Structure 1
């Protein structure tokens, strides 16, 4: 009997349920290729859970995630819940709590572009002709966002605010191992981003990365200052393979990587803990303004499933089948509204149609 692999499905708010429906279509199609028996359970989260239970992360949802082998997350949030305190709103009260509960310290965000959609990228054609396929790895639970002390003091012209950047050797080592292991399966190149000419935390970051690299002699490690890195991403993104960043720098770099791809609606992400337990989600938001209109782009959600299959199920070839199917449909000119470029060969289709066409193209 095949091993059982449990996936907790958390559709969320806004377009979350619509795009998640398309990912489930794909999952049902590829189940026959997977060596393990897939069991899925769906749970309420975010604003939808607030409306039903008064809590963005109900105990039943958290328990279901604890009993799963991976989490496939939709999107949460919307102005409907802006009246609530920050810690009780959908984003902080569910997604950030899940990250903290499972100690999901490593955020993985691929960035690439589809040649057929190159017009959506702000980069010049001569840059895009080189192509790029980048994995941005961001440390997610440390750094200046969580360092203490922080706050504001004083009054009038003497008022000031302060934040503290703290990184321990342990925090840097564990994110480094994630990065090197991913690099081993790609082009064996890591560019570590820091500001070691100014910051003590960056000096330690660079020293630890250099030490860890000795355990991965087949991987080439390069160091780059953050200011140079953002420039190089615009100038020649093809030079990068795996980019490793602290929390603050990763926040900046990962969004830039998304932007140069042309559409955040096409990009997935994942967050891992020490045991490689993963939460997979689209890089974009819940887009409540288009919810229920059947026009949302489901590609990022489908690719989040593909990441789950690659990293948690260890079925890279099946993940590639999904990516190939998406490429085929885009090559044929099918577009959701956000991807439409007014080309004569393009055909605007619905969220449901996009999911179905991708599903039918998986071979």
Structure 2
């Protein structure tokens, strides 16, 4: 029996429509081999949506996405829209999509194919065998915290403000995703923060440490973000 899935396509901007067409061809090929059927519906987002509707994320697009089994997004943004007010820029549509679909966990695998090792700017012995899953929190933190904006002070100066904030529940849910993924992989989890300077990062570290008690089969370590950036280049296989 063929299973049918409804997929919303968001080609977006730039090379988006071109790569989306190829992705659809791939899905159709997979479907024919795996007894799967796909119903595709295309919607607007980003610069394409701004040009057509004046909004980076039309309500109709979000409604269509919520009614789908999956959403396939290609690319967003371009120089054409960089001078628009921030709330009207293509990237605002992406943030709205994340919030509207509650996409709080971004999974970024980092591996390298043997055929591409010599194309890396890092030495072969550094990158060969790398297999990392980065779990990134998407709907809390500085992108969504308030207050934010550019304000004028009493002395007439302009002051830019962004607020980095997390609740314990926001930290716990992304932490659980990371621990569960670690259980299915090597049983190692490194939590990256800036707890030596930021109170919000101290809360992050405290909550992740508390969660570790529920996952005794996962070895948890902590690392400051600036050191983590160096270690990813120096020895990513660790």
Q: Give your verdict on TM over 0.5.
A: yes
Q: Which residue of 1 aligns with 2:210?
A: 211
Matches within 5 A, 1:175-214: 175-214=174-213
Distance 1:208 1:196 in 2: 12
Task: Decide whether aligned partners of structure 1 residues 35 and 172 sit closer, same or farther in structure 2, where only a CA change above 3 A counts.
Answer: farther
Answer 1 or 2: which has greater strand percent. Answer: 2
Over 3 Å counting, the alpha-carbon distance change for 1:65 and 1:166 in structure 2 is same
**1:115, CA displacement in angstroms?**
2.7
TM normalised by structure 1 equals: 0.59
Contact 2:111 2:131 (C-alpha < 8 Å) held by counterparts: yes
Residue-by-residue CA offset, 1:156-206 (whole Å, 9 max, x unaligned): 7x8765543322111100101111222222222110011222322222211
Structure 2's unaligned 5+ residue stretches are none
Q: 1:55 to 1:203 in 2, by over 3 A?
A: closer
Q: What are the residue-to-residue correspondences of 1:315-354 with 2, within 5 Å?
A: none
In the other structure, the counterpart of 1:116 is 115
Greater RCO, CA 8 A, separation 6+ = 1
Q: 1:7, CA displacement in angstroms? A: 1.1
Unaligned runs of 5+ in 1: 240-363
Cα distance in 2 for residues equivalent to 1:147 and 1:66: 24
2:46 matched to which residue of 1? 46
Query: Aligned runs of 1:1-363 on 2, under 5 Å?
Result: 1-34=1-34, 37-92=37-92, 94-129=93-128, 131-150=129-148, 152=151, 153-155=153-155, 161-239=160-238
In 1: Cα distance, 2:158 partner to 2:19 partner: 46
- Alignment size in residue pairs: 236
Instruction: Check 1:85–1:25 CA distance in 2 against 1; reply closer, same or farther (3 A cut).
Output: same
TM-score (norm 2): 0.87
- How far has the Cα of 1:138 moved from its partner? 1.2
Is the 1:149–1:163 Cα contact (8 Å) retained in structure 2?
A: yes
